[in-house]
Chain A
């Protein structure tokens, strides 16, 4: 890319680090000698960086909103789990302790 190309393209290539070493040297020398060009170039690189930053942040915020919504949904749909291996299980009434076996008992004719 020639540094005489439009400033937007040049600034974008500079910000992304895709300029070749010779192009960077050429750019630096023009920045030192041409103040009008330097001013426009720095404004453009700042604008591009701001745009990239705001885009990243926007996408991050949108992902956070999605995470918030899905975790809220998860909390709302959570059902109580009855654990038969829990120590408190033995403290439950006998009929409640036996209920998982009731279908088996009725099948065997008990």
Chain B
């Protein structure tokens, strides 16, 4: 199931989503959240799990449901802390089941947030590079288009020309991205 999730398979993702969403939703509603909060938090927890699952060595020490529930709870506490709202429910009895794993979840969320920041910086560099490089690189890496499609979309005479342009764009992006990192 985790391998299928890592591969981004819809059936597995939908199954995990349907199995666990209502559990997180029930808990969050009881603890001051809204259905909209659940939608945001649960999606983020799914992305944390997806990120972890990309590492072939990753093994879950609990069930997928327990992991998603704990990550969602942790994200909710963090959100409340950010809003300066008192996390009064930290004392509740649902805490005991994943107390020992709390630190690991915290690490996973921190790694996820660092990765998000890194991706944001990449997007800033992409915005700085300008067109057509921005759209070309996005078409290849974000929209999973092949060089044949890119050549047709961007008006290159053949896929090889599009490929040459892609490498020129990558070289420019590398300079912009690492210059930003050095600042």
A interface residues with partner B (beta carbon < 8 Å): 6-9, 40, 43-44, 47-48, 50-61, 63-65, 67-68, 71
Contacts and interface: CB of A to CB of B under 8 A. Distances in A.
Contacts of B43: 61, 64-65, 68
Secondary structure class of chain A's binding surface, majority of residues:
helix
Contacts, number: 75
A7 B173 CA distance: 13
Contacts of A8: 166-167, 170-171
Contacts of B167: 6, 8-9
A40 B50 contact: no
B23 to A, nearest CB: 14
B180 to A, nearest CB: 12
13 contacts: A8-B166, A8-B170, A9-B167, A43-B174, A47-B174, A53-B54, A54-B119, A54-B142, A59-B8, A63-B10, A65-B43, A67-B13, A71-B21
B170 A44 contact: yes
B47 A61 contact: yes
A68 B46 CA distance: 12
Contact of A64 (B13, B170, B174): B13
Given A8-B166, A67-B17, 12 more contacts: A8-B171, A9-B163, A43-B178, A51-B137, A51-B141, A55-B142, A55-B143, A55-B144, A57-B47, A57-B50, A63-B10, A67-B14
B18 interface: yes
B174 A40 contact: yes
Contacts of B178: 43
Interface in B26-45: 39, 43
